[in-house]
Amino acid sequence: MVEKTAKELAQELLNPRKNGFFKVTDEEICLADQFNEGYKAFLDAAKTERESVDYAVEAAEKYGFVPFDPKHKYAAGDKVYYNNRGKAICLAVIGEEGCKNGVRIAAAHIDNPRIDLKPIPLYESSEMAYLKTHYYGGIKKYQWTAIPLAMHGVIVKRDGEVVKVCVGEEPGDPQFTITDILPHLGADQMQKTLGSAFTGEDLNILIGSRPVRDEEGAQLYKLNIMKILNEKYGIVEADLISAEITFVPAFKATDIGFDRSLVGAYGHDDRVCAYPALEAIFQCENPKQTVLTVLADKEEVGSMGNTGLNSEFMRYFIADLAQAEGEEPRHVISKSTCISADVTAAFDPHYAHAYEAQNSCYINGGLGVSKYTGARGKGGTNDASAEYVAKIRKTFDDAGVLWQIGELGKVDQGGGGTVAQYVANLNIDVIDVGVPVLSMHAPFEVVSKLDVYMAFKGFKAYFDEK
């Protein structure tokens, strides 16, 4: 018997990492580039959870989805959606075998780190008008100063009338900003650490500098802003108490790099998984098991609240699907599986010390799979079973999905969580799968077009598997 050479043995036995571009065809790169044109349009159209739900409903109806009626009996191929308070949504395509053997769920989140307003936000100082804020999610505060911001949200008047606001996105719109001290006078600030140089109370938004033109009266700068808001929206200051107003970066999504291989935008985390999960269910015809795309709110603040996945809204929806087919909900839920579709950190050579190179996800490496997330010895995480990891591996490999596996960073460097643990609490097999991101949670994040496309391909393969 002839001994195999080291090269032959290595080919047979080892699993070297290879950049995705060496593994895919030109045709596939073309498909990836096309897919990202749609993704960029989504990024610009939907910057908040409410706008993402509006987008999802409008798009879903074009694909034949109808509002879910728990009393109705559905047949294979029927498409339904459940809109939870305009901030989270479940979409389902009824499978050939219904839900008796469980459902397949792709769950992503549509809230992003941002700057929210306090309930009494408006004030003036040194003859300028400002809004007080309370940031939402994990941000590095210094990154949110001296950039253009846009205002999004709703104001609900006392009689229940909902006024939608969006200022700073259309050409010609005014925008807003949080100011920073000039370097010439920054000596004191420069002595501070990054974490302490900016406090939450410093993040006040500049919104005007002209007073009501009247020598008499107080707070003329604040008053002038209220006058403008009243003319535009018919609101008074007290209406801001019952409002959800958010300031987000006013940037548009754009190609990054001479080769246009990357997309830069606000809020890839986690719209970069939400969009592929939506497209995957839109293009899913006649699945074997009933499939669900769930777009959840509140992930960035721990999935709390009735639109987050630590609430029961998804469980109730599946229970309704089960009961409509005469199935016991807890049996259906226990047999269900889930892809927790959320971003992971892409290896960044400038901060290599924070990663463990062999167990990191890379730009253009494809869809990133994380068996677990968490911190301090796998604390606070779902840890997908080896059996379920094997199943997902096979699903992706069989469908030619480019994928990689990695951890969020070095052991004990930090950590993070996703909705996976809350889905797992329902006795569902779940694994974290998502797109690697550079500059995660910054006002401007970066992803690879190839990886975004592979998210779509991966979620679709999971839905389509017979």
Q: What residues make contact with Mn ion under the rule CB under 5 A?
A: 269-270, 342
Closest CA to 464 of 337, 340, 291: 291
In the bound state with Mn ion, the residue whose beta carbon lies nearer, of 79 and 114, is: 114
Q: What minimum distance in Å lies between the beta carbon of 289 and Mn ion?
A: 26
Q: What minimum distance in Å lies between the beta carbon of 246 and Mn ion?
A: 15
Residues β-bridged to residue 109: 296
In the bound state with Mn ion, the residue whose beta carbon lies nearer, of 321 and 440, is: 440
Q: Does the CA dihedral 85-90-94-98 come out positive or negative?
A: negative
The token pair at 450 is: 């190839």
In the bound state with Mn ion, the residue whose beta carbon lies nearer, of 123 and 136, is: 136
Cα–Cα–Cα angle for 319, 55, 90, rounded to 5 degrees: 10
3-state secondary structure of 382: coil
Structural contact between residues 64 and 289, judged by C-beta atoms closer than 8 angstroms: no
In the bound state with Mn ion, the residue whose beta carbon lies nearer, of 176 and 247, is: 247
Q: What minimum distance in Å lies between the beta carbon of 267 and Mn ion?
A: 10
Phi, psi of 244 (to 5 degrees): -125, 95
Q: What minimum distance in Å lies between the beta carbon of 99 and Mn ion?
A: 27
Structural contact between residues 251 and 444, judged by C-beta atoms closer than 8 angstroms: yes
The token pair at 343 is: 């971003």
Q: What minimum distance in Å lies between the beta carbon of 138 and Mn ion?
A: 7
Question: What is the distance between the alpha carbons of residues 71 and 66, in angstroms, rounded to a whole number?
Answer: 14
Q: Which conformational region is residue 364 in: left (phi greater than 0), alpha (psi within -120 to 50 degrees), or beta?
A: left
In the bound state with Mn ion, the residue whose beta carbon lies nearer, of 124 and 342, is: 342
Q: What minimum distance in Å lies between the beta carbon of 37 and Mn ion?
A: 23
Structural contact between residues 211 and 223, judged by C-beta atoms closer than 8 angstroms: yes
In the bound state with Mn ion, the residue whose beta carbon lies nearer, of 155 and 272, is: 272
In the bound state with Mn ion, the residue whose beta carbon lies nearer, of 239 and 269, is: 269
Q: What minimum distance in Å lies between the beta carbon of 59 and Mn ion?
A: 21
Q: What minimum distance in Å lies between the beta carbon of 317 and Mn ion?
A: 21
Structural contact between residues 309 and 422, judged by C-beta atoms closer than 8 angstroms: yes
In the bound state with Mn ion, the residue whose beta carbon lies nearer, of 124 and 270, is: 270
Round the CA-based radius of gyration of the chain to a whole number and report it: 24
Closest residue to Mn ion: CB criterion: 270
Classify residue 399 as exposed, middle or buried by CB count within 10 Å of its CB (0-12, 13-18, 19+).
Answer: middle
Give the other-Cβ count within 10 Å of 18's Cβ.
Answer: 11
Q: What minimum distance in Å lies between the beta carbon of 269 and Mn ion?
A: 4
Q: Does the CA dihedral 449-18-278-113 come out positive or negative?
A: negative
In the bound state with Mn ion, the residue whose beta carbon lies nearer, of 40 and 268, is: 268
The token pair at 313 is: 């809204």
